[in-house]
């Protein structure tokens, strides 16, 4: 472990640490004049910030960040902000996040924890193909690798030929990129010295994991995070591949039901984070929109941190077709279980007529068989279009686009009409 005392701490000791940190956060927010402090005051919490736990405290959402764009929610003087990151966001509107020097240092340690959980050491070479820039993937992992003392190859995304060349020539043992880009690199069929990959920034199924592990071949691990909370390194899998360890000494996690009540262990809910040790943008109960479940209990690796499941969907990503709820992740699981179907697919939600139609564009496989498997799993009929290889767009940089809404105009892909 990179920080064994924190990652392997007893559950009681950690609970006490979390309670103290939460009270500090509440006091800090109450002392400021921001939206979070106002909400706390409205809830009737006194300035001494004596709270028992998270339940009942007000929540925060993306809307709050949008409304205070660009950096209105800062809890420190602007002069203390040393970097800005963010994301284009699921809704297309940018979300910006400021970092103090302390925030960057915390972030580096969280990413170093993820690298060590994947078996990386100071002797490792990390081929980092997450995009560098405003996106947190590239620079987050980069700083984590530096904190670990590994050798980082700052490839950024794109230019696949050059990536393959440097993978071979520098003999990296750790690959970091989006899972869709890992498929892209794997399909090139180049022999490497890679042992493990740390993939995240977009949802990916167990079926995609199996595909990546056989293509590259490596151990494929999941890493989760979001810029609002810090970036990658909020949670990450270890080599046991049995859930993502949430760094809950710094990121208090809950899963909430649609009414805002915590769900029981194992029951999926909306991931909600509080960040008591963040300086520039501390968040109280930030609702992420991501759906997963939580599981307490020690892992065989020795970490005692609560584990989250893979993200199974987004609260806003569910497609309702004839009353049936469909998640893109389920479509992916079905497709990859079908023989001959490539990992490149697009779920097209055709909303041109009053009745929504689901079209699944894929490459390879036997159309009627895929259709039957999808109907059986989803409980709703889909139109499967098997397109010629190379038709479904690949991701060179950034996150894979797995779902598109077709509201009017020409089809989003040729061959769908
Ligand atoms: O994607 C941070 C990151 C970079 C995580 C590199 C992992 C690796 P954002 O651009 O702000 O930050 O996007 C955050 O991406 O709310 C999820 O919806 C999604 N996401 C991130 N990691 C995963 C994952 C980065 N492992 C949003 N599985 C989040 C599923 C993920 N979805």
CA of 232 to the centre of ligand 1 (A): 7
Instruction: Decide whether any atom of ligand 1 lies within 6 Å of the 313 Cβ.
Output: no
Q: Please, which residues bridge with residue 307 across strands?
A: 245, 295
**173 Cβ below 6 A of ligand 1:** no
Q: How far is the CA of 199 from the centre of ligand 1 (A)?
A: 10
Cα–Cα distance measured from residue 96 to residue 374, given in angstroms and rounded to the nearest whole number: 39
**Per-domain boundaries in the chain:** 1-315, 319-406
Look at 95 and 293; give whichever has higher pLDDT.
Answer: 293
Task: Check if 180 has its Cβ closer than 6 Å to any atom of ligand 1.
Answer: no
Collapsing DSSP to helix, strand or coil, 151 comes out as strand
CA 150/CA 146 separation, integer angstroms: 6
Ramachandran angles phi, psi of 12, nearest 5°: -65, -45
Question: Which tens digit of pLDDT belongs to each residue from 400-417?
Answer: 888 899 999 999 998 887
**Ligand 1 pocket residue status of 114, Cβ below 6 Å:** no
Q: What angle do CA 184, 84, 103 make, to 5 degrees?
A: 100
pLDDT tens sequence across 64-86: 998 999 999 999 999 999 999 99
Q: Give the pair of three-digit tokens for residue 132.
A: 């560098």
90 has pLDDT over 80 = no
CA 221 to chain CA centroid, nearest Å: 12
CATH number for region 319-406:
3.30.300.30
Query: What is the SS3 assignment for 143?
Result: helix
Q: Work out the mean pLDDT of the chain and round it to a whole number.
A: 94
| Tokens describing residue 153 | 């190859």
| Alpha carbon distance 237, 272 (integer Å) | 19
Q: Is the pLDDT of residue 349 over 90?
A: yes
Mean pLDDT score, 243-259: 97
pLDDT the model gives residue 417:
78
Atom 30 of ligand 1: nearest residue by CA position: 203
Task: Say how many Å lie between the CA of residue 110 and the centre of ligand 1.
Answer: 15
255 CB burial (10 A radius; 0-12, 13-18, 19+): buried
| Beta-bridge partners for 290 | 314
Q: Which of 226, 227, 246, 308 to mutate to test the pocket of ligand 1 (most atoms within 8 A of CB)?
A: 226
290 lines ligand 1 (CB under 6 A): yes
Task: Summarize pLDDT for 146-194 with one digit per residue, the tens.
Answer: 999 999 999 999 999 999 999 999 999 999 999 999 999 999 989 999 9
d(CA 157, CA 343): 19
Is it the case that residue 230 has pLDDT exceeding 80? yes
3-state secondary structure of 69: coil
Ligand 1 centre from 200 Cα, in Å? 6
Q: Look at residue 185 in the predicted model and tell me its pLDDT.
A: 96
pLDDT over 90 percentage in the chain: 85
Side by side, the strands of the sheet bearing 151-154 are 151-154, 125-128, 174-177, 196-200, 219-226, 231-237, 244-246, 307-308, 294-295
Eight-state DSSP code of residue 120: -
**Whether the CB of 137 sits within 6 Å of ligand 1:** yes
Residue 293: what pLDDT? Answer: 98
CB atoms within 10 A of CB 18: 18
For residue 318, pLDDT beyond 80: no
Distance in angstroms (rounded) separating the CA atoms of residues 163 and 148: 23
Which position has the higher pLDDT, 390 or 235?
Answer: 235
Name which of 85-89, 100-104, 256-260, 300-304 the model is least confident about. 85-89
Q: Which ligand 1 atom minimizes the distance to the CA of 271?
A: 16
Asked if pLDDT for residue 11 goes beyond 90, the answer is: yes
DSSP SS3 for 75: coil
CB-neighbour burial class of residue 43 (10 A; exposed 0-12, middle 13-18, buried 19+): exposed
Domain 1-315 fold:
Rossmann fold (3.40.50)
- 214 CA to middle of ligand 1, Å? 24
The reply to whether ligand 1 has any atom less than 6 angstroms from the CB of 255 is no
Give the integer Cα–Cα distance in Å for 110 and 417.
Answer: 47
Q: 70-84, 269-283, 347-361, 391-405 — which is least confidently predicted?
A: 391-405
Ligand 1 in reach of 398 Cβ (< 6 A): no
144 C-beta closer than 6 A to ligand 1: no
C-alpha 327 – ligand 1 centre gap (Å): 17
Q: Which residue has the higher pLDDT, 46 or 231?
A: 231
Collapse the DSSP code of 50 into the 3-class scheme (helix H, G, I; strand E, B; otherwise coil) and give the result.
Answer: coil
Q: What is the enclosing helix (H) or strand (E) of 104?
A: helix 101-117
Q: Averaged over 358-369, what is the pLDDT?
A: 94
What is the chain's percent helix, strand, coil content, to nearest 5?
30, 25, 45
Q: Is the Cβ atom of 273 under 6 angstroms away from ligand 1?
A: no
For the chain, give the longest Cα–Cα distance: 65
CA distance 358 to 370: 13
Could you count the other beta carbons within 10 Å of the beta carbon of residue 340?
12
Please name the residue that has the structure tokens 């279980």.
337
pLDDT(92) > 80: no
- Percent of the chain at pLDDT > 70 equals 99
Least confident of 126-140, 200-214, 319-333, 336-350: 319-333
Whether 202 is in the pocket of ligand 1, judged by its Cβ within 6 Å, is yes
Whole-prediction pTM = 0.91
Mutational test site, ligand 1, from 225, 236, 244, 315, max ligand atoms within 8 Å of CB:
225
- CA–CA separation, 130 vs 81, rounded Å? 24
């Amino acid at each position: 472990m990179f920080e064994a005392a924190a990652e392997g701490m007893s559950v009681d000791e950690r609970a006490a640490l979390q309670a103290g940190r939460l009270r500090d956060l509440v006091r800090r927010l109450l002392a400021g004049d921001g939206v979070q402090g106002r909400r706390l005051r409205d809830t009737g919490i006194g300035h001494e910030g004596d709270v028992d736990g998270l339940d009942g405290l007000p929540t925060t959402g993306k809307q709050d960040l949008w409304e205070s764009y660009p950096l209105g929610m800062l809890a420190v003087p602007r002069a203390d902000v040393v970097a800005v990151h963010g994301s284009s966001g699921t809704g297309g509107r940018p979300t910006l996040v400021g970092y103090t020097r302390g925030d960057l240092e915390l972030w580096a340690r969280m990413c170093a924890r993820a690298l060590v959980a994947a078996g990386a050491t100071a002797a490792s070479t990390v081929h980092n193909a997450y995009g560098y820039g405003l996106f947190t993937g590239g620079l987050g992992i980069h700083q984590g690798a530096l904190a670990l003392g590994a050798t980082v190859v700052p490839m950024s995304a794109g230019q696949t030929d050059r990536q393959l060349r440097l993978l071979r020539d520098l003999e990296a043992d750790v690959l970091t990129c989006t899972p869709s880009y890992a498929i892209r690199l794997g399909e090139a069929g180049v022999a490497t010295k890679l042992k493990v990959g740390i993939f995240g920034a977009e949802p990916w199924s167990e079926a995609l994991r199996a595909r990546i592990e056989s293509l590259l071949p490596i151990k494929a691990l999941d890493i989760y995070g979001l810029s609002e909370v810090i970036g990658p390194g909020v949670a990450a899998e270890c080599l046991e591949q049995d859930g993502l360890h949430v760094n809950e000494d710094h990121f208090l996690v809950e899963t909430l039901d649609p009414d805002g009540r915590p769900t029981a262990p194992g029951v999926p809910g909306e991931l909600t984070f509080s960040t008591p040790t963040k300086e520039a943008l501390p968040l109280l109960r930030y609702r992420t929109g991501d759906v997963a479940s939580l599981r307490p209990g020690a892992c065989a690796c020795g970490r005692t941190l609560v584990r989250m499941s893979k993200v199974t969907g987004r609260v806003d990503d569910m497609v309702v077709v004839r009353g049936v709820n469909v998640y893109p992740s389920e479509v992916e699981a079905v497709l990859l279980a079908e023989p001959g179907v490539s990992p490149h697919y697009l779920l097209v939600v055709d909303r041109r007529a009053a009745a929504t139609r689901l079209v699944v564009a894929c490459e390879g496989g036997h159309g009627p068989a895929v259709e039957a498997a999808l109907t059986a799993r989803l409980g709703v009929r889909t139109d499967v279009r098997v397109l010629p290889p190379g038709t479904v767009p690949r991701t060179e940089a950034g996150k894979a686009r797995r779902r598109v809404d077709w509201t009017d105009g020409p089809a989003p892909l040729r061959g769908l009409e």
